[in-house]
Amino acid sequence: MSSDVSPRRADAPHHVGFPLRLDLRGRTSLADDDAYLAGLIEQVLFTSPGERVNRPDFGSGVARLVFAPSGDSLAESTQALVHGALQQWLGELIRVEGVQVTAVDSRLEVVVDYLPLRATSPDQRRRVTVSGTGGPGGLGGAP
């Protein structure tokens, strides 16, 4: 008895891609583990608390800081905010190794260094960089 379904390859993507889109065949786009985790981090950073009806406390609130007075205090508060939000929402998937924040005028750049908890060695550290400005399409808007 043969099956038309081939066994899943270990290296095949198996997460729904973010943002949701179609691939060249018209099917839902899939993502590997690295792209999936990067997408989750972006979702936490780009979502403002209160934005999701069924989970009103989800998100980081980073968008509120874009127009705050820049300086060391903004960078420090943003680092703490991002680290806490990622730990709260993705703590079962990643270990946040570091967060660096750069603020120039009304632009923020957030760099997150993390280690997937499924990683087998420290060499598997990853980095996600997110930057944006206030207003539509900025940090807190659609990535």
Q: Using one digit for the tens of pLDDT, what is the confidence trace for 60-79?
A: 877 776 656 566 676 777 88
Output the CATH code of domain 15-133. 3.10.450.40
Mean pLDDT estimate for the chain: 78
Other C-beta atoms closer than 10 Å to the C-beta of 108 total: 27
The alpha carbon dihedral of 53, 75, 110, 107 has a sign of: positive
Split at pLDDT 50, 70, 90, the class of 105 is low
Q: Which of these, 68, 69, 66, lies nearest to 138 by C-alpha position? A: 66
Tokens standing for residue 3: 């099956």
Break the chain into its structural domains and give their ranges: 15-133
